[in-house]
A and B are shown apart, each in its own frame.
Chain A
Amino acid sequence: MPTINVTVNGERYEETVPERLLLSDFLRERLSLTGTHIGCTYEGVCGACTIHLDGEAVKSCLMLAVQADGHAITTIEGLRDGSLTPLQAAFKANHALQCGFCTPGILMNMTEFLEKNPNPTDEEIRHGLVGNLCRCTGYVHIVKAVREAAQSTTR
């Protein structure tokens, strides 16, 4: 079994893993970072397992743990440093989550989205969200929260 070196939320890990272990399972089961969720069972459609790999939003169920060797990962548990990020605060203020199962993946995806596009239109936000399925909110409040977070950080 190969040994991998990964940095997760700033902590360094050296772990021996089976080749076939999915990155999402590695994070959830080996590191107990259960905020990364599995919604479509490894199809890469629902986006609930989205994390940052070297700062880029990726779906962790479509990667093997061994592919993360030498990389730095941020999960939802490591997204904030103390207080809530502007995006998290906007999600709370605008009721952009209901059951919260899709929320970690959406926050990870839209955090990266706003870094690349700090002043998006509603249509750009809606298209930015197509990799994340939400079944509760109808997306209205999510779009509003992302817009508000963009305004609060560009102001």
Chain B
Amino acid sequence: MASKPIEDTADWVGTRLPRKEDLRLMTGGGKFLSDMVLPGMLHAVFVRSEYAHARIKGIDKSEAVAMPGVVAVYTGADIEHAFKALDIPVLIPNLPAQFPKYHALAVDKVRYHGEPVALVIARDKYVAEDASELVIVDYDELPVVIDAEAALEDGAPRVHDDSKDNEIFAMTFTGGETPEEQAANDVEVEKIFAEADVVVSERFKVHRTGVTPLEPRGVLCEWNESDGLTAYITTQRPHIDRLALVDVLELPAEKVRVIAPRDMGGGFGIKAPFYRENIIIAHAAMELGRPVCWVESRYESLMNIGQERDQINYMEIAATKDGELLALRNRGIGNNGAGCIGVYWGFVMPFLGAVEMPNAYTWPKGDVKLRVASTNKTSLTPSRAFGNFPTRFAIERSIDIVAHKIGMEPAELRRKNIIPQLPYTSITGEYYDSGDFLGVWDNLMAQIDLEAFRKEQAEARKEGRYIGIGFSCGVELSGVASDLMVPMENQPGYGAASVRLEPRGKVYVFGGDAPSGQGHETATAQAVAAIFGIDPDDIVVTTGDTTTTPFGSGSIGARFGSYYVSAVAKACEEIKDKITRILAHDLQIEAHKQHFEFKNGDIVYLGDPTKRKAFKDMVERIIMWPINLPEGEVGGLETTAFFEADKPMICFNADCCMVEVNEESGAFNITRWVTSEDVGNVINPTIVEGQMHGALVQGLSNTMFEEFVYDELGQQMSADFEHYKLATAADVPDFEITYSSTPCPHTPLGTRGIGEGRPSSVPGALTNAVCDALTPFGIEITELPLRPNTVWRKIQESKS
């Protein structure tokens, strides 16, 4: 998509505008949570469990308390009755599950290596760190269960004493609402499998990996009796965190304010849950009457959050010999870990992964079931591609395996089964509102010459070189409608924004969803600038302060381009209505909004372009001189708008990856990566491409490098960046991002929310390419991570 020249201010939408955020961030002027200092601020350090599963017999904190500079030490026993446990309604989704009770600090027992056990607060962070090592915890070790399938067996060690077993969540996603309907459906599916030409049946395993923003978490709380609690939290969802603090600490709602710092160093989902650390830091600040700050260390971060995926899928596909997909059957087993995180409890991610499993293909029938097991790992936390990564890998690999079985080109099999027309409701009940999947697919194929590649591949094989091509595609949520958000997370899905004009014609926008690097300030300003016909520099965007912004469920699930910016547009249009009503009255003409153009700082009457007024003058007139107004009008220009789409919305993409595999070592190189995107109308293509690059590299890094490793005792072996390897610049390729976009018909600007689910297309495309390269060996890889050693082993197995 070429950049549009800025001929007039209506062109701000669609322009590659450099970001408003960049100047401060490039010059050391960003203000991140750990940059904040308040007078009298104390520093907190957590003591965390050394065991994956152990009874706490006692804690001796006397030495730590006695250390000079230490102000307080809290243990589970100190806080157990001071405030509520974290199983409060605002943190509980409307899904049937065994929700474990847990406190801010472990009370009776620890359930994973790294769980918070005590909190040390001191005047100096070095002293707090020293004192934390003097807290002596007496543990009685308990049997540990790390494997999800083992956890679901009878007699497995029970992770939560208050649950009847380790099955935290189980659900059937197909066949109807009642067990009878579902059972009848299962019989029909079984019949299809029994009669099908081809059946593919594989066990797909995806390891534990996820997202690790470069800025870890942090909380800074201050308290005074008149204003109450102010909590600065690295959070994507300040309004939800505020409600949780109100409910757990049982404070009057007007006494709690949460502020997400304007600058946050990435989130990718991990800053979306409500965390127990927030509660104890707030409690300490209130009790001590001084600001208390906790900044998470990388070690703590890698042990506690950013862990997702970790799922086994027993997937079966029935197809005809001509490559028509007939039915999908899946038994998913998710490894939840201990699940002690508010809102998500771990299993909400695998839940959504199961909902989204059918992807872009027409399945006449399906039988999709999921079980999620509590284990002695840390909880799954939301990670970009929310729940989707393991199921998308399984589906996209299965499609290729079907193609290999019937001797069909995998690209052709995909095209044959891609949903030809939207809207469409999937076998799991997911509604796909709009788009042109085949258009996106055909655009991808137009970027590559598949026939030429196959010829080159055949030639290369003669020389002993193995090159391969792999495909995948992905339906991703574009925001999450209340229809899904209320049942899933007990929260609304609408977008909300306040737009306030000040007398000199400048515009302030306030949003409750807190961004963490996605360029929301810039994209919001571009949308507002286009609507009012003014310059993006005249727009100031404020996010994340619960006192000044309208309620929003947070920066999650690609809500910006779908819900949030739509609310901004709606608010701007309401203000335009008022401006034009008053302007028509001033000009003594019969005219409505559609008769005026807002352009290049002017408001022009289209019926007679000599009748015009400068935007800023008109704004000043309405705010400062509210006399001689039309009957019933008052002065002032400010409104809050809420946007809810009639239907859930999606975006769509297709990917192609080319590789060369070294048959001797198993090493593989990505030689080309091309994408085709339906991202709706684009506000800023450069920002969209940045989102895609980042998501693709996260996907590659998850697929090839990153892995959270636990030993058999549940000890975490990967809690630093030496052991938890992230992709560096030298590890990853360049990407060709291409577009085949359709405007979303349900949003005012035709935009779609993009980028959230995007990493999930990566493991399928890459692994398919590697397997395609190795077709002569008949290799089908069904487990991640995908590394040279696994590829090498597969080649050896095939040779022997």
Physical interaction between A and B:
yes
Interface residues of A (CB under 8 A from B): 18, 20-21, 28-29, 32-41, 43, 45-46, 48, 75-77, 79-80, 84, 88, 91-95, 97-104, 107, 123, 125-127, 129-130, 132-143
Interface residues of B (CB under 8 A from A): 18-19, 21-32, 34-35, 37, 126, 211-216, 263-266, 268, 297-299, 516-519, 686-687, 689-690, 692-698, 720-722, 726, 728-730, 732, 734-735
Check A97 against B720 for contact (C-beta < 8 Å): no
Nearest CB of chain B from residue A82's CB, rounded to whole Å: 11
Sample (24) of A-B pairs whose CB atoms are under 8 Å apart: A28-B35, A32-B37, A35-B28, A37-B214, A41-B297, A80-B27, A91-B22, A93-B18, A95-B19, A95-B687, A95-B689, A98-B519, A98-B694, A99-B25, A100-B26, A100-B263, A101-B215, A102-B265, A127-B730, A129-B728, A135-B213, A135-B268, A137-B694, A139-B693
**What chain A residues lie within 8 Å of B516 (beta carbons)?**
99
Give A20's nearest chain B residue, CB to CB: B126
Check B690 against A130 for contact (C-beta < 8 Å): no
Give A77's nearest chain B residue, CB to CB: B28
> Which 4 residue pairs are nearest across A and B when measured between Cβ atoms?
A35-B28, A99-B517, A100-B25, A101-B265
Grouping DSSP codes into helix (H, G, I), strand (E, B) and loop, the A interface class, with mixed when no group exceeds half, is loop
Check B696 against A91 for contact (C-beta < 8 Å): no
**What chain B residues lie within 8 Å of A142 (beta carbons)?**
729
Give B699's nearest chain A residue, CB to CB: A138
| With A88-B26, A95-B19, A138-B735: A41-B299 Cβ-Cβ less than 8 Å | yes
Check A140 against B722 for contact (C-beta < 8 Å): no
> Which of B37, B266, B518, B722 has the most chain A CB atoms inside 10 A of its CB?
B266
Check B215 against A99 for contact (C-beta < 8 Å): yes
| With A98-B517, A99-B215: A138-B265 Cβ-Cβ less than 8 Å | no
Check B266 against A136 for contact (C-beta < 8 Å): yes
| With A127-B730, A129-B729: A43-B721 Cβ-Cβ less than 8 Å | yes
> Once bound together, how far apart are the Cα atoms of A40 and B212, in whole Å?
10
**What chain A residues lie within 8 Å of B690 (beta carbons)?**
95, 98, 136-138, 140-141
> Which of B37, B693, B722 has the most chain A CB atoms inside 10 A of its CB?
B693
> Which of A18, A84, A92 has the most chain B CB atoms inside 10 A of its CB?
A92
**What chain B residues lie within 8 Å of A125 (beta carbons)?**
729
Give B265's nearest chain A residue, CB to CB: A101
Give B17's nearest chain A residue, CB to CB: A95
Give B29's nearest chain A residue, CB to CB: A35
Check A43 against B215 for contact (C-beta < 8 Å): no
**What chain A residues lie within 8 Å of B694 (beta carbons)?**
98, 135-138
> Once bound together, how far apart are the Cα atoms of A14 and B690, in whole Å?
43
**What chain A residues lie within 8 Å of B729 (beta carbons)?**
125-127, 129-130, 132, 134, 139, 142-143
> Which of B18, B23, B211, B215 has the most chain A CB atoms inside 10 A of its CB?
B215
| With A45-B720, A95-B686: A37-B32 Cβ-Cβ less than 8 Å | yes
Give B700's nearest chain A residue, CB to CB: A138
Grouping DSSP codes into helix (H, G, I), strand (E, B) and loop, the B interface class, with mixed when no group exceeds half, is loop
Give A88's nearest chain B residue, CB to CB: B26
> Once bound together, how far apart are the Cα atoms of A149 and B653, in whole Å?
32
| With A101-B265, A130-B730: A107-B214 Cβ-Cβ less than 8 Å | no
Nearest CB of chain A from residue B209's CB, rounded to whole Å: 13
Check B720 against A75 for contact (C-beta < 8 Å): no
Give A48's nearest chain B residue, CB to CB: B214
Nearest CB of chain A from residue B693's CB, rounded to whole Å: 3
> Once bound together, how far apart are the Cα atoms of A137 and B735, in whole Å?
12
> Once bound together, how far apart are the Cα atoms of A39 and B18, in whole Å?
26
Check A141 against B214 for contact (C-beta < 8 Å): no
Check A35 against B30 for contact (C-beta < 8 Å): yes
Check B266 against A103 for contact (C-beta < 8 Å): no
> Once bound together, how far apart are the Cα atoms of A134 and B213, in whole Å?
9
**What chain A residues lie within 8 Å of B697 (beta carbons)?**
137-139
**What chain B residues lie within 8 Å of A80 (beta carbons)?**
27
> Once bound together, how far apart are the Cα atoms of A125 and B695, in whole Å?
21
| With A35-B30, A100-B263, A101-B265: A135-B212 Cβ-Cβ less than 8 Å | yes
Nearest CB of chain B from residue A15's CB, rounded to whole Å: 16
**What chain B residues lie within 8 Å of A134 (beta carbons)?**
214, 729
Check A39 against B30 for contact (C-beta < 8 Å): no
Beyond A35-B29, A76-B26, A97-B25, 10 additional pairs, beta carbon < 8 A: A21-B126, A35-B27, A37-B265, A40-B298, A41-B298, A76-B28, A92-B26, A132-B729, A136-B690, A138-B695
> Which of B26, B126, B519 has the most chain A CB atoms inside 10 A of its CB?
B26
Nearest CB of chain A from residue B525's CB, rounded to whole Å: 15
**What chain B residues lie within 8 Å of A88 (beta carbons)?**
26-27
> Once bound together, how far apart are the Cα atoms of A137 and B689, in whole Å?
9
**What chain A residues lie within 8 Å of B735 (beta carbons)?**
138, 140
Check A77 against B27 for contact (C-beta < 8 Å): yes
**What chain B residues lie within 8 Å of A40 (beta carbons)?**
298, 720-721
> Which of A32, A101, A132 has the most chain B CB atoms inside 10 A of its CB?
A101
**What chain B residues lie within 8 Å of A133 (beta carbons)?**
214, 721, 726, 728
> Which of B27, B215, B216, B726 has the most chain A CB atoms inside 10 A of its CB?
B27
> Once bound together, how far apart are the Cα atoms of A29 and B125, in whole Å?
11
The answer, among A20, A21, A76, for a CB contact under 8 Å with B27, is: A76
> Once bound together, how far apart are the Cα atoms of A46 and B266, in whole Å?
14
**What chain A residues lie within 8 Å of B519 (beta carbons)?**
95, 98
Check B265 against A33 for contact (C-beta < 8 Å): no
**What chain A residues lie within 8 Å of B31 (beta carbons)?**
34
> Once bound together, how far apart are the Cα atoms of A39 and B264, in whole Å?
12
**What chain B residues lie within 8 Å of A32 (beta carbons)?**
37
> Once bound together, how far apart are the Cα atoms of A98 and B517, in whole Å?
5
Nearest CB of chain A from residue B770's CB, rounded to whole Å: 20
**What chain A residues lie within 8 Å of B37 (beta carbons)?**
29, 32
> Once bound together, how far apart are the Cα atoms of A48 and B28, in whole Å?
11
**What chain B residues lie within 8 Å of A43 (beta carbons)?**
298, 720-722
Nearest CB of chain B from residue A75's CB, rounded to whole Å: 7
Nearest CB of chain A from residue B116's CB, rounded to whole Å: 17
Check A99 against B720 for contact (C-beta < 8 Å): no
Nearest CB of chain B from residue A26's CB, rounded to whole Å: 12
Check B266 against A99 for contact (C-beta < 8 Å): yes
The answer, among B19, B211, B298, for a CB contact under 8 Å with A135, is: B211
Check A39 against B214 for contact (C-beta < 8 Å): yes
Give B34's nearest chain A residue, CB to CB: A38
**What chain B residues lie within 8 Å of A143 (beta carbons)?**
729, 734
Give A85's nearest chain B residue, CB to CB: B26
The answer, among A21, A99, A137, for a CB contact under 8 Å with B265, is: A99
Check B721 against A138 for contact (C-beta < 8 Å): no
> Which of A33, A34, A130, A135 has the most chain B CB atoms inside 10 A of its CB?
A135
> Once bound together, how far apart are the Cα atoms of A88 and B686, in whole Å?
17
Nearest CB of chain B from residue A87's CB, rounded to whole Å: 9
Give A80's nearest chain B residue, CB to CB: B27
